[in-house]
Structure 1
Amino acid sequence: MTSSRAMIPTSRCSASSTGRLLIRWSTISCRTRVSARRDVLGLDAGSTHRLTAEAIADTTVRLVKRRSLETAAGSNVRVAHTLWTMTASDLRHAEDHMLLLGRKTAMEKVATFLLEMDRRLAKAGMMALPMWRPDIGDYLGLTLETVSRALSQLSGQGVLVFSSARQIVLRNRQRLADMDA
């Protein structure tokens, strides 16, 4: 896939970036990012995209030619600064995610994920999880069973309440934040 375009989600949406790793003789898919409105997907430095994007909810995107972004950034300091800020934010997210995968317990990973999704996607106190539990596990480096167990424990502790399989209300954000620390 060429990198002549970037995608910018323009409506309330969720998408995830997926990379493929070749390990010995098998290919493993791994989620690298959950994106929300106004994120830029596919803005790579190379001539090809390293990742693919998959809509995990109803999504509207705007395709922007890479050359148009480069031209705008070259002639408009605000555009250049905005692109730099987005890139720096993506780098920070990648660093935070590496720390999450390598240093946190399963419960801390789930707490971090819920707080991030709450910050990015919650409306009126209710959050629709942007993916099913197996995909959350993939994103966090956990099994489906571990994600389900952690969510059940948080529910049992009164930290969250399920309205449906993917609709939750966070009742105690401070407790989640303490787990995330």
Structure 2
Amino acid sequence: MDKIRDTAAPQGGEQVRGFAPVVADGARVLVLGSMPGVASLRQAQYYAHPRNAFWPLAAGILGFDAGLDYDARLLALQAGGVALWDVLQACERPGSLDADIRGDTLVPNEFAGFLACHPSIVRVCFNGAKAAAMFRRYVLPSLSAPALQFFELPSTSPAHAAASFDQKLAVWERALKLPVA
């Protein structure tokens, strides 16, 4: 299991750095956020904000207890063939809102090497429109990956209240569940 737990919480306009990918051999789906929010950076955990719907959605879809400790949730996610990462490796952003990411400070993650090391990934799911837009603009033009399926999903952030939990669950379930290889 690959993960980093050594990330400082952001202060004002300082540069923030994301986490290493969480991925296991055989992963088939990659879920990409934009950049971890303040709560996640402080706790060095993906989707750590207590009102973020990511873990309850993933648990409901993949059949594990969302109340498990963080490491157990990561293992359950990996056992379900799902990897986690973010489009950005670093950026400047005061607070947690994607809209506040300073465009002139973006440093995307290195996807060509990642996808070459994980050829079983066939689907990339974006946790929100900002992640999808940044990937299309800053990553996709330089990517020569095999045919991948791309799904833009409703954000699990508590700031995205346009869709109910049940609406998000239906969309996320279609995206995360792949036919058996």
More helix by share: 1
More strand by share: 1
Q: Which has the larger Rg?
A: 1
